[in-house]
Amino acid sequence: MISHGAEGARVVLCRDCLVESPGGDSSRCALCGSPRLVAYPHGNALTIAHIDCDAFYASIEKRDNPTLWDRPLIVGGGRRGVVSTCCYVARTFGVRSAMPMFQALKLCPEAVVIGPDMAKYVRVGRQIRSLMQDLTPLVEPISIDEAFLDLTGCEGVHGAGAPLTLARLARKIESEIGLTVSIGLSDCKFLAKLASDLDKPRGYTIVERVQAMALLAPMPVSRIWGVGKVAQTRLNNAGLRLIGDIQALDETTMFARHGAEGGRLWRLARGIDKRRVTPERETKSISSETTFDVDTADKEHLTRTLLVMCERVAARLKKQQLACKSVTLKLRTADFKLRTRARSGFEPTQLATRLFLVARSLLEKELDGARFRLLGVSTADFAAAEGADQGDLVDKDIGRERAREDAIDSLREKFGASAVVRGLAFKATTPKRP
Ligand SMILES: [Mg+2]
């Protein structure tokens, strides 16, 4: 896809022969005749990329079994499950990810269904990530098959600017790993991610700063990062259907009507996104889980176990000087059904008592008589510990909790994590607010 709209000298890159040449009107490469061209201003300053594998699980299965290459393929959890990924052939029948399998098979009865092989997908995802990391240390994975790359200042190392470097990477992934990716390149994460989705599969879209407003204007507000079904309905009810509707308002109005979130939406609607590409942290989540010797439905037993695990998790958070903004409770029932319940978006914390209050409120909703074989708690969405759990006018309890936990922690350092201290913490916390 060729980008138009900017003034000045332009460069055209052929994604097949990987040659950059001065921009012209031709829609095909002068050297090899390929139509797969991408254009950008001379001295391109766009260095933030989003790379997304095309139909990742399905493409891996097709790669590994070439007899499937032209058949509609669904990777998913058997006939009673849902579609994890479907190939582009299956998509022409209307099959989509997250669709119930019976519905997908009604649309496309001839589809081949394969159960997911996560271990294999993780392995392939790592291979691709390591090719990305050869280009820049600033690789921020956002799922198994997609990542942001910041190529700022990498020109000297690669002897090429970001556009050519990325085209080379796409070719390398095709030839060495046998999968295709779609690339979005812009000057911020939001536009890069949006761009990678515009020309799938095997796409390459560059969104220049001057194009951002016009590109975004006709899109539904749901295309803005973080606007899910609920937020979309809320915005629609406020008369905001298209991103252009938000662009038409001034920042103060958006802020007045929709709070801090309104300010964020106003900026993203204009393609303004200051978030940096932050390389993968060593730690993506800190968690603890327990498999019971005997399946249990006993509230007190589950609650006590949960507290012990929250304390373990808190100790690790403190050790790594992290605070979390999200807690996930994991339960596996006696018949192996998995339940996960999460809460996120609270003030960063590393205190066991706070983790426990959140996790316990999630647990209590699940106590429906089911017997559980496994209980787990995990934390994610980390922030620096600095400034966490300081307490404020609204929540004066935090200061007290912090002091108490500090005292328990130092006792533990002296005497070890004894059951007595745990019991103390248990009594001190359970009777409090839900
Ligand atoms: Mg993908």
- Domains contained in the chain, CATH given: 10-53+120-212 (3.30.70.270), 56-115 (3.40.1170.60), 217-269 (1.10.150.20), 286-429 (3.30.1490.100)
Going from the Cα of 208 to the center of ligand 1, the distance in angstroms, rounded, reads 23
Beta strands in 200-349 (DSSP E): 204-206, 286-296, 322-333, 338-349
Annotated active-site residue in 20, 61, 146, 405: 146
Note if 413 is an active site residue.
no
Going from the Cα of 168 to the center of ligand 1, the distance in angstroms, rounded, reads 19
For residue 73, the cross-strand partners are 112
Give Cα separations from 286 to 71, 195, 302, 314 (angstroms).
41, 33, 20, 9
Q: Is 198 exposed, middle or buried (0-12, 13-18, 19+ CB in 10 A)?
A: middle
pLDDT confidence tier of residue 236, bands split at 50, 70 and 90: very high
User: Mind listing the pLDDT tens digit for each residue in 136-186?
Assistant: 999 998 888 999 999 998 888 888 999 999 999 999 999 999 999 999 999
Average pLDDT of the segment spanning 214-221: 98
pLDDT above 50 for 425: no
pLDDT above 60 for 129: yes
- Per DSSP, 79 falls in state T
User: Mind listing the pLDDT tens digit for each residue in 60-113?
Assistant: 999 999 999 999 999 987 545 889 899 999 999 999 988 999 999 999 999 999
Average pLDDT, the chain: 88
Going from the Cα of 183 to the center of ligand 1, the distance in angstroms, rounded, reads 11
**Surrounding residues of ion ligand 1, Cβ less than 5 A:** 52-53, 56, 145
Whether the model clears a pTM of 0.75, i.e. scores above it, the answer is no
Average pLDDT of the segment spanning 373-388: 85
